Structure 1
Amino acid sequence: MTTSNIEQRDVSKLTEVEVADLATRLEQDDYDNVFDGLNDWHLLRAIAFQRPILVEPYLYLLDLESFDEA
């Protein structure tokens, strides 16, 4: 999965491995431009709302507040 096809990703079809890869990219924060990192962050956030179990180990990357779109 690359950040160039974020918009085309179906969150319901993402695997644990893909989410782990996404989290690794965010942890390393080694993107060619800020928008690629932001796209990954938004994808992880979407996964957190739609499939929270997959994101549990990586919630610290989102820094969500308790009132955030709850």
Structure 2
Amino acid sequence: MSVPDTQQAQLTDYTTADVEQLAQRLDADDYETPFAALGDWHLLRAVAFQRPELAEPYMHLLDLEAFDES
């Protein structure tokens, strides 16, 4: 996943509290539009790839599954 440079810089500044707030929004699923939820989902996914130690407790929100392509 390619993250824009400005967002990339922001990801390095994320704290545990920032990711917790993001996860709480996703868990509550109280968005005005599906696109707002999708934006948060993509942000959590970017955090999971760039800073996995922060996103580990919230991986269930990403619904990532390993696929056997053989």
- Cα offsets for 1:43-64 (capped at 9, x unmatched): 0000000000000100000011
SS in 1 for 2:22: helix
Equivalent AA in structure 2 for residue 34 of structure 1: P
Q: Name the CA distance, whole Å, in 1 between partners of 2:51 and 2:41.
A: 15
Displacement of 1:14 in angstroms is 0.7
Q: Name the CA distance, whole Å, in 2 between partners of 1:28 and 1:60.
A: 14
Between structure 1 and structure 2, the one with the greater Rg is: 2
Displacement of 1:66 in angstroms is 2.1
Equivalent AA in structure 2 for residue 17 of structure 1: A
Structure-2-length-normalised TM-score: 0.80
- Tell me the percent identity: 54
What is the aligned length? 61
- 5+ residue gaps, structure 1, are 1-6
